[in-house]
Amino acid sequence: MQFCAYRDRSHKEVEEKLRGMNMIPAAQEQIIIQLMQEDFLNEERFARSFVRGKFRIKKWGKIKIKQELKFREISGPIIKNALTEIDQQKYISTLYELAEKKLKLLKEPDKFKKKRKLADFLLRKGYESNLVYEVANELLE
């Protein structure tokens, strides 16, 4: 309960923690059921807080967040629902903010290479390619 009370956890994280404690499968299952009944373990709450945190703090894009949630074995509908936590206006402004910040750091004299480096950076952050190229073109015109 302490492990889940510290911060929201996914089912996978809790299962791995219990496996690390060398618990038998029946005990693991019983503990997970109890945690869910007492609302210490809630996948949707975990996904929503994960989305808010990764976007606000690490400035990740929706693609990277979605991949990370899939890796943590969160179901598709929960992921889709959790991504609604990101305000579209704030998402676009964050993308522009990241792009402008990165542009100041790029020392590349060639405009096309500079655009490529900027786009690669934003794509690695997990932003959608159509938005990335739109922003890159706009900032380097």
User: Looking at residue 39, what is its pLDDT?
Assistant: 83
Looking at the fold, whether 44 and 70 belong to one and the same domain comes out as: yes
Range of the domain at 4: 1-84
Looking at the fold, whether 14 and 79 belong to one and the same domain comes out as: yes
User: Looking at residue 117, what is its pLDDT?
Assistant: 94
Looking at the fold, whether 17 and 54 belong to one and the same domain comes out as: yes
C-alpha to C-alpha distances, 63 to 22, 50, 90, 123, nearest whole angstrom: 35, 13, 16, 9
Looking at the fold, whether 11 and 68 belong to one and the same domain comes out as: yes
Query: Rounded to 5 degrees, what angle do the CA atoms 12, 21, 30 make?
Result: 60
Looking at the fold, whether 28 and 45 belong to one and the same domain comes out as: yes
User: Looking at residue 81, what is its pLDDT?
Assistant: 95
Looking at the fold, whether 79 and 106 belong to one and the same domain comes out as: no
Cβ atoms within 10 A of the Cβ of 24, count?
9
- Higher-confidence position of 65 and 39: 65
Name the least confident of 5-9, 43-47, 70-74, 84-88. Answer: 5-9
pLDDT tens digit sequence for 50-101: 999 999 999 999 999 999 999 999 999 999 999 999 999 999 999 999 999 9
Looking at the fold, whether 80 and 94 belong to one and the same domain comes out as: no
User: Looking at residue 88, what is its pLDDT?
Assistant: 95
27-36: long-range pairs with CB below 8 Å, 24+: 35/1, 35/4
Pairwise CA distance, residues 40 & 43, whole Å: 10
How many distinct structural domains can be found in the chain?
2
Looking at the fold, whether 61 and 107 belong to one and the same domain comes out as: no
Looking at the fold, whether 26 and 94 belong to one and the same domain comes out as: no
Looking at the fold, whether 18 and 52 belong to one and the same domain comes out as: yes
Structure-block tokens of residue 16: 């791995």
Cα dihedral 126/129/98/125 (nearest 10): 20
